[in-house]
Amino acid sequence: MGAPAPPGAVLRLRGREFGPGRFAVMGVVNRTPDSFYDRGATFAFDAALRAADVAVRQGADIIDVGGVKAGYGEHVPPEEEIRRTVPFVAALRERHPEVIISVDTWRARVGRECAAVGADLINDTWAGADPDLALVAAEFDVGLVCSHSGGLEPRTDPHRVAYTDVMADVVATVTGLAERAEALGVDRARILVDPTHDFGKNTYHSLELTRRLGELAATRRPVLVAVSHKDFIGETLDAPLTDRLAGTLATLAVSAWAGARVFRVHDVGAARAALDAVAGLVVEEAQESTCNRR
């Protein structure tokens, strides 16, 4: 087996640290009626709370709360996104004071409202479409995810997208966004970078990013991967949405070995077990390497 990725920077959120070989599982709770994965199963407030409870019991370190479907769908104004997310974040903060709460939004207004009631991380999957979002992260001293969408506007899908080198484009974009966030006052230890599989990319691009993820980890910034049940896995395996767990876990394991730190998933228990196994292998490989140098 090849060596795991070299040590990277430590991620710090809500008083917790995730260093090299310590993987954080981010459980998804979508407060949307049209989620691509659960089709609205956690749209109701009580159902969303129950789903969060289960995710925490299964080992989630982070709960990621979303109020707008990522892809095409009915327009959701900021007021409605706030209605779906802010009261839920407040309730989740009271219910699980130890859990890290993330809010999946590209809107600074929504991020500010959620941070004010206890969110610890703003998961911007649309590459700084609202430039004020980084200012919100700095204002509230919370984390920020810097992502790559290939220049797409929020909630749009790629059409005949092309890159000379997709990983080079990702590295340039996310490191640029991360450096801007730092300059605005966001703590470096709270900034993650996300190659953002399938956003502004086709299946070939998402597979290429997975194979070369070590290049992103080499920037020494904590890497988040969000691949759970995504289309590139389905197309690769010719598998419907309901039959992509094995492909998801395989991609998580490869990504962890390559140096990813945070993993956004729908199946928390299975992901936790897979990542704990990889963590054990990383420790064993590191110990063996140390012994061989003596």
Question: Which residues make beta-bridge pairs with 143?
Answer: 121
- 137: which residues sit within 8 A by CB, 6+ positions away? 111, 115, 122, 143, 144, 181, 186, 190
**Those residues with Cβ within 8 angstroms of residue 192's Cβ, 6 or more apart along the chain or in another chain:** 11, 121, 143, 144, 145, 146, 221, 222, 223, 224, 261, 262
Quickly count: other Cβ atoms within 10 Å of residue 290's Cβ: 9
Choosing from 112, 201, 264, 272, which is the catalytic residue? Answer: 264
Phi, psi of 74 (to 5 degrees): -60, 140
CA distances from 268 to 88, 163, 281 (A): 20, 33, 20
Is 39 annotated in the active site? no
Catalytic residue among 212, 230, 261, 272: 230
How many angstroms separate the CA atoms of 178 and 144, rounded? 9
Residues 204, 236: Cα–Cα separation, whole Å: 9
One-letter-per-residue 3-state SS of 1-68 = CCCCCCCCCCEEECCEEECCCCCEEEEEEECCCCCCCCCCCCCCHHHHHHHHHHHHHCCCCEEEEECC
Which residues fall within 8 angstroms of residue 85, CB to CB, at 6 or more apart? 31, 65, 66, 67, 103, 105, 110, 113, 114
Residue 12 annotated as catalytic:
no
List the catalytic residues. Answer: 230, 264
